[in-house]
Amino acid sequence: MLKRLTEADDPRIREAAEKTLQTDAELRQKRKDAPTEAEGAAPVGAAVLRRTVFDTHHTRTLPGDQVRAEGEDPVLDGTVNRAYNALGLTFTFYKEVYGRRSIDDANLPLDATVHFRSGYNNALWDGEAMIFGDGDGLVWNDFTFDPAVIAHEMTHGVTQFTAGLAYEDQSGALNESVSDVFGSLVKQFARGQTAEEADWLIGAGLFTPLVRGQALRSMKAPGTAFTDDRVWQGGDPQPDHMDRYQEVDFDAGGVHINSGIPNHAFYLVATQIGGFAWEKAGQIWYDTLTSGELAKRATFREFAQATAEAAKKRYGQGMELEAVLKAWSHVGVNGNNHG
């Protein structure tokens, strides 16, 4: 998305986008070199929440000054408190729903940095910690506004320590989609919403009032989250079917674009099964991610097959498996397209 903003008419928007893209490249390289196995695993059954929020005061010096640690009272900075609370919410979700002990399942401390750089238009997991920008105030708001975004970044860490999906092309789009899936589920969990009641939006509130759009992505209806050319020429570019899969030479092969296809597949599974989406649909996706059988460069087709196997293993030949098979077929993932 940000690549297109480097061509925006407003020089302030161009400058913020260029700086963000440069920083993102540096931080994602760090993520590639990050560990993928937990160190010093805690005893089985023990779950310990340890949050620390840092503040760079709009500089690039990571992690910044410690401003709130586990158990400390709220501070006057709303961004710090939102980050702290969402880290706890996501930890609780993974613990209570799937029995997972933090990002690495071994009680990895949850570190987050806020107020990173000036006008930084992103949120990011760098392989060890989460980083949140304040946005440029023109197109983007503070990236802690939507708890689904913070849960999304934490889930990149979960993927790193489980399936390790390579961050490019289809496996990269799956990496992004998995983060969207569990980001949305965390928000639904917090609100006590069923699949039918949820908004299925990622990044709600991230756009300033100047922007025509409700969120960054919609899992319910990919391609409809925003219409503003200042975000993307022609509006939301996400496809909802393999017929509209985009082969591009930027965004690591379109990882933030083509994730709309598996995103929509999950939405269809969740709404077909009904009830709380984290209970069955989410369990199938979590089982798939943690099975140890998913290739790091898995294609959409391979991931779809893995979810079907996970559904069959946990629920048998029932309506859950049928929902999975129908959803992937609906989005055109049947082995005949793009791998």
- The set of catalytic residues is 153, 256
Among 107, 142, 104, 138, CA closest to 122? 142
Residue matched to tokens 């049928």: 322
- Pair of tokens at residue 50: 């340890």
Count CB atoms within 10 A of the CB of residue 221.
16
* Alpha carbon distance 196, 1 (integer Å): 29
DSSP of 121-150, one letter per residue? --EEE-SSSEEE----SSSB--TTS-HHHH
What CA–CA distances, in Å, run from 148 to 36, 184, 260, 284, 322?
23, 6, 16, 20, 28
- Pair of tokens at residue 127: 């392989």
Residue matched to tokens 């460069």: 297
